[in-house]
Structure 1
Amino acid sequence: MLRFTLRRLFVSIFILLGALFIVYNLVAISKDPLADILESTAPNKEQLIAARVELLQLDVPAPARFFLWLGGILGFFIPTFDDPNGLFGFLGNNFSMGVNIANQDVGPLIASAVGQTLQLVTAATLIAVVIGVAVGVTTALRQYSGYDYTVTFLSFLTYSLPIFFVAVLLKQYMAIGFNDFLQDPEIPIPLLVLIGVIMGFIFMSIIGGPAKTRATVFGAGAVGTIAILFGMELLDWFRNPGLGTVLIIVLGLATVLLTAALTVGLSHRRNLIVTGAVAVVGGALWYPLQFAMTNEIGAWFPIALIVVFTVIAWFVGKYFGGLDKRNVASNAAIVGFVVSLLLVIDRVMQTWSGYYDQTGGRPIATVGASSPQLGSDPSIWLQMLDGFTHLLLPTIAIMVISIASYSRYSRSSLLEIMNQDYVRTARAKGLPERTVVMRHALRNSLIPITTIVAADVGAIISGAIVTEQIFGWRAMGSIFSESLRNVDLNPLMGYILVTAALTVIFNLIADILYSVLDPRIRLS
Structure 2
Amino acid sequence: MLTFILRRLGATILVLLVASFIVYNLTAITADPLRELRASNSPNREEQIANRIELLNLDLPPIVRYFSWLGGAAKCVILQCDLGIAFSRSNQQVTDAVGNAAGSTIQLVTAATIIAIIFGLTIGILTALRQYSGFDYTVTFLTFVVYSLPIFWVAVLLKEFGAIRLNAFLSDPEVTVWAILLTGLISGIIFMSVLGGSWKRRLITFGGAFIAAGGLLWFLGITGWFARPQIGIAGIIITGIGAAIGITALSTGLANRRALYSSLIVVGIWGALWYPLQFLFLYVPTGWMLFFLGIAAIGLGILVGVVVGGDGKREAARTAAVVSFITFFVVVVDRVLLVYPDYVDRIPQSGVIATIGSSTPGLRGDMWFQILDGFAHLILPTIALAVVSIAAYTRYARSSLLEVMNQDYVRTARAKGLTERTVVVRHAMRNALIPIATIIAFDIGALIGGAVITETIFAWKGMGALFVDGLNAGDVNLVMGFFVVTGVLAVIFNLIADLLYSALDPRIRVS
Q: Please give the range of the TM-score, normalised by the shorter of the 2 chains.
A: over 0.9
Cα offsets for 1:357-383 (capped at 9, x unmatched)? 1114522111111112322xx211111
Contact 2:244/2:264 (<8 A) preserved: yes
Cα offsets for 1:450-487 (capped at 9, x unmatched)? 01111112322345221111111222121111111111
Structure 1 residue 39: Cα displacement: 4.1
Cα offsets for 1:341-361 (capped at 9, x unmatched)? 111111111111111111145
Q: Does 1:203 align with 2:194?
A: no
Q: Does 1:367 align with 2:359?
A: no
Contact 1:295/1:380 (<8 A) preserved: no
Corresponding residue for residue 427 of structure 1: 414
TM-score (norm 1): 0.94
Contact 1:447/1:514 (<8 A) preserved: yes
Structure 1 residue 192: Cα displacement: 2.3
- For the residues of structure 2 that align with 1:55 and 1:173, how far apart are their CA atoms? 49
Corresponding residue for residue 35 of structure 1: 35
- For the residues of structure 1 that align with 2:362 and 2:343, how far apart are their CA atoms? 10
Corresponding residue for residue 337 of structure 1: 325
- Counterpart pick for 2:382 among 395, 399, 404: 395
- Counterpart AA for 1:9: L
- For the residues of structure 1 that align with 2:278 and 2:4, how far apart are their CA atoms? 49
Structure 2 matches for 1:112-123, cutoff 5 A?
Answer: 112-123=100-111
- Counterpart AA for 2:143: S
- For the residues of structure 2 that align with 1:287 and 1:40, how far apart are their CA atoms? 64
Q: Which moved more, 1:116-125 or 1:453-462?
A: 453-462
Contact 1:286/1:343 (<8 A) preserved: yes
- For the residues of structure 2 that align with 1:320 and 1:192, how far apart are their CA atoms? 43
Corresponding residue for residue 18 of structure 1: 18
- For the residues of structure 1 that align with 2:507 and 2:129, how far apart are their CA atoms? 25
List alignment gaps of at least 5 residues for structure 1: 78-90
List alignment gaps of at least 5 residues for structure 2: none
Cα offsets for 1:245-280 (capped at 9, x unmatched)? 111111111111112222322222222222111112
Contact 2:357/2:461 (<8 A) preserved: yes
TM-score (norm 2): 0.96
- For the residues of structure 2 that align with 1:257 and 1:452, how far apart are their CA atoms? 30
- For the residues of structure 2 that align with 1:44 and 1:275, how far apart are their CA atoms? 72
Structure 1 residue 168: Cα displacement: 1.1
- For the residues of structure 2 that align with 1:219 and 1:366, how far apart are their CA atoms? 37
Over 3 Å counting, the alpha-carbon distance change for 1:252 and 1:103 in structure 2 is: same
**Superposition misfits of 4+ residues, deviation over 6 angstroms:** none
Structure 1 residue 42: Cα displacement: 4.7
Corresponding residue for residue 9 of structure 1: 9
Over 3 Å counting, the alpha-carbon distance change for 1:92 and 1:424 in structure 2 is: closer
Secondary structure in 2 matching 1:427: helix
- For the residues of structure 2 that align with 1:413 and 1:25, how far apart are their CA atoms? 41
Corresponding residue for residue 491 of structure 1: 478
- Counterpart pick for 1:384 among 371, 382, 399: 371
CA RMSD of aligned residues (A): 1.6
Q: Which moved more, 1:394-403 or 1:239-248?
A: 239-248
Corresponding residue for residue 407 of structure 1: 394
Contact 1:358/1:373 (<8 A) preserved: no
- For the residues of structure 2 that align with 1:249 and 1:503, how far apart are their CA atoms? 40
Corresponding residue for residue 480 of structure 1: 467
How many residues of Structure 1 are paired with residues of Structure 2 in the alignment?
A: 509
Over 3 Å counting, the alpha-carbon distance change for 1:217 and 1:9 in structure 2 is: same
Corresponding residue for residue 513 of structure 1: 500
Contact 1:306/1:337 (<8 A) preserved: yes
Contact 1:179/1:363 (<8 A) preserved: yes
Q: Does 1:98 align with 2:98?
A: no
Structure 2 matches for 1:34-433, cutoff 5 A?
Answer: 34-77=34-77, 91-93=78-80, 95-101=82-88, 102-294=90-282, 296-360=284-348, 362-375=351-364, 378-433=365-420
- For the residues of structure 2 that align with 1:143 and 1:295, how far apart are their CA atoms? 53
Corresponding residue for residue 80 of structure 1: none
